[in-house]
Structure 1
Amino acid sequence: MLSLALPKGSSLEQRTLGLFAAAGLQVTRPSERAYRGTITYGGPIRVAFFKPREIPLVVAAGVFDAGLTGADWIEETGAKVESVVSFTYSKTTDSPWRVVLAVPADDAARTVQDLGPGTRIATEYPTIARRFLQDEGIQAEVVHSYGATEAKIPELADAIVDVVETGSSLHHNGLRIITTIRTCAPWLIASPEAWCDADRLRRIQGMARLLDAAHAQSAQALLTVRVPTHCLDRVVRSMPERSWRVGADLHHTDLVIVQGLAQRAGLPDVIDRLLGAGAIEVTQTDGGMTTPAFPSDTHVRA
């Protein structure tokens, strides 16, 4: 039986469960508070929930065959795992989150080089913080924080290294970002042991394909475009890369129907270009889920 570790009680939990459900990999468990569940895909998959920081370690140790966690915790723990596929979402946005260095808003420091010797930096990421400070040649004291890192200033720290999505929490706590240390995203990871087992490798890669397709679907829109035949060439040049011709309009023989999958980011500009090229109508709907084939002996990359 394949085993999978998913994030619990963190900003990733609900978005991750939504992604698995969209991929047809619904996690069944007795209640939302339960720490155990199952997925039916090529046979049962045993699911357990852990803190994201624990997942790289339990996967690296072979306790679980695969898991999903943030790139920040993979780096922080130094766990030796196989990185299978990444996604671009966080708790409240469809973008990755950041690990940043922040100081009080009224602090004189404007760059990391402005931090004085002996600066106390609180963080849940001491390994990442120390490596960054060493690379920058900064002498500072790293204080390991166990949650609510913003609250460590000013009594326990002078600055913090913490994760942000929009930065609003730091602003509300009177902090200002000096620099971004890392941009991080969720990753599906696998244990080295499972990656060397043909059956488990096949099932993990199959799961990765479904998740990757579901994630791409949420970022795409299907455009259906009605075009006069004499404008078709111009409109085709403005269509997204993944496009196709559907056929002729049922009622107007001089109209052609084309479709394409466009990224939601920048979609208004794409529609403007299509209309400017001669399209008479552009209909936008949710993008369909497309599951590509991948070679069985290669990693799946986003």
Structure 2
Amino acid sequence: MEKRLKFGIPKGSLEKSTIELFEKAGWTIEVHRRNYFPEVDDAELEMVICRPQEMSKYIEAGILDAGITGKDWILENDSKVIIVEDLIYSKVSKRPARWVLAVKEGSGIEKLEDLKNKKISTELVNFTKRFFKEKGIPVEVSYSWGATEAKVVQGLCDAIVEVTETGTTIRAHGLKIIYELLITYPQLIANEKAWQDEWKRKKIQQIATLLKGALNAYKKVGLKMNVPEKSLHKVIDILPSITAPTISKLYNKDWYALEVVVSEKEVRDLVPQLLELGVEGIIEYSLNKVI
């Protein structure tokens, strides 16, 4: 019987970036319109697209073996799952998402204690209830089906707990942030029983390693160059690298071939310095993974 790992891809804002990350890691995923079961070029994988809010529930129940969802929804569902790897996409495409507490400007609410016996609206209900219970502040928390910012403006609640990156939308509604409850980012999680299965654990670890490698390669490039022997130590001194540059002597010449991984933005400053030291044949190439 062919072994397969059931893996969850988050639907919505994380879907595109997750599929692109898998592509960098070595897997091609094809999503068909209105189909929640995309094709993947790996016979050992079965991909399923589902809402990130529900992902950890499916994984905890064993419907899925592993998947990717936000840290916020794992905490919201209080799911018993294995946290395999943090996959902080924010360094690739955006700022970290934050769940913040916001109130109407001029409301007189300035700190958490001012919300005693007040109404709070949010999609992150369970987490918010636990948060205020731990703080010893009695509040009424209700679920928001959307347009959460408008509920404060319309007087339907006293405060909201909402996710944001920049806070621009919150401020545009005449609200102000008074507290940051949680910084969230995607996490690769696994079902506890699946993790105990040796084959599934190794497959999940393979995915984790390659996805992390793809993230590590973001905004990094490889540089190859030929360096005259007289300038070798000066070149090494100005080159940043993960460990140390790879160096080999050119045949029958007082020159060395040097290869290094650097930040993409550092290249613009490095190249003029390298040319001044007599370096030739500089080649820049892109990277898919750094492991």
Give the alignment's TM-score, normalised by structure 1.
Answer: 0.80
Check if 1:27 corresponds to 2:29.
Answer: yes
> Amino acid of the residue matched to residue 118 of structure 1?
N
Check if 1:222 corresponds to 2:225.
Answer: no
Preserved contact between residue 22 and residue 214 of structure 1 (Cα < 8 Å): yes
Instruction: Look up the match of 2:143.
Output: 144
Deviations 1:225-260 (A, max 9, x none): 66564454344344223342344689xx67655333
RMSD (Å), alpha carbons: 3.1
Unpaired stretches in structure 1, ≥5 consecutive residues: 293-302
Preserved contact between residue 236 and residue 245 of structure 2 (Cα < 8 Å): no
Deviations 1:236-293 (A, max 9, x none): 344223342344689xx676553332345xx4499469949x7567865433423x4x
Determine helix, strand or coil for the equivalent of 1:218: coil
Distance (whole Å) between structure 2 residues aligned to residue 228 and residue 105 of structure 1: 65
Check if 1:98 corresponds to 2:101.
Answer: no
Preserved contact between residue 102 and residue 178 of structure 1 (Cα < 8 Å): yes
Q: CA deviation at 1:103?
A: 1.7
Instruction: Look up the match of 1:241.
Output: 242
Distance (whole Å) between structure 2 residues aligned to residue 279 and residue 106 of structure 1: 62
Higher normalized helix content (fraction of residues):
2
Distance (whole Å) between structure 2 residues aligned to residue 268 and residue 108 of structure 1: 48
Distance (whole Å) between structure 1 residues aligned to residue 108 and residue 241 of structure 2: 48
> Amino acid of the residue matched to residue 150 of structure 1?
E
Distance (whole Å) between structure 2 residues aligned to residue 90 and residue 241 of structure 1: 21
**Over alpha carbons, which structure has the higher Rg?**
2
Preserved contact between residue 81 and residue 192 of structure 1 (Cα < 8 Å): yes
Note closer, same or farther for the CA distance 1:116–1:192 as it changes in structure 2 (3 Å cut): closer
Unpaired stretches in structure 2, ≥5 consecutive residues: none
**1:101-112 equivalences in 2 (<5 Å):** 101-112=101-112
Distance (whole Å) between structure 1 residues aligned to residue 285 and residue 107 of structure 2: 48
Select 1:5's aligned residue among 5, 8, 18. Answer: 8
Preserved contact between residue 24 and residue 289 of structure 2 (Cα < 8 Å): no
Note closer, same or farther for the CA distance 1:60–1:236 as it changes in structure 2 (3 Å cut): same
Deviations 1:135-157 (A, max 9, x none): 33333221221222212213221
Distance (whole Å) between structure 1 residues aligned to residue 60 and residue 73 of structure 2: 12
Note closer, same or farther for the CA distance 1:159–1:225 as it changes in structure 2 (3 Å cut): farther
Note closer, same or farther for the CA distance 1:269–1:222 as it changes in structure 2 (3 Å cut): closer
Q: CA deviation at 1:87?
A: 1.2
Determine helix, strand or coil for the equivalent of 2:85: strand
Deviations 1:67-115 (A, max 9, x none): 11000001110111111112112599344311111122344334334x2
Preserved contact between residue 87 and residue 185 of structure 2 (Cα < 8 Å): yes
Distance (whole Å) between structure 1 residues aligned to residue 109 and residue 148 of structure 2: 19
Preserved contact between residue 242 and residue 261 of structure 1 (Cα < 8 Å): no
Distance (whole Å) between structure 1 residues aligned to residue 104 and residue 223 of structure 2: 47
Note closer, same or farther for the CA distance 1:174–1:286 as it changes in structure 2 (3 Å cut): farther
Distance (whole Å) between structure 1 residues aligned to residue 283 and residue 230 of structure 2: 20
Distance (whole Å) between structure 1 residues aligned to residue 283 and residue 178 of structure 2: 43
Preserved contact between residue 225 and residue 257 of structure 1 (Cα < 8 Å): yes
Determine helix, strand or coil for the equivalent of 1:69: strand
Determine helix, strand or coil for the equivalent of 1:53: helix
Distance (whole Å) between structure 2 residues aligned to residue 195 and residue 159 of structure 1: 40
Instruction: Look up the match of 1:295.
Output: none
Note closer, same or farther for the CA distance 1:171–1:98 as it changes in structure 2 (3 Å cut): same
Preserved contact between residue 231 and residue 278 of structure 2 (Cα < 8 Å): no
Q: Which moved more, 1:84-93 or 1:43-52?
A: 84-93
Distance (whole Å) between structure 1 residues aligned to residue 91 and residue 205 of structure 2: 25
Of all paired residues, the percent bearing the same amino acid is: 30
Distance (whole Å) between structure 1 residues aligned to residue 133 and residue 267 of structure 2: 44
Determine helix, strand or coil for the equivalent of 1:162: strand
> Amino acid of the residue matched to residue 40 of structure 2?
I
Query: How many aligned positions are there?
Result: 283
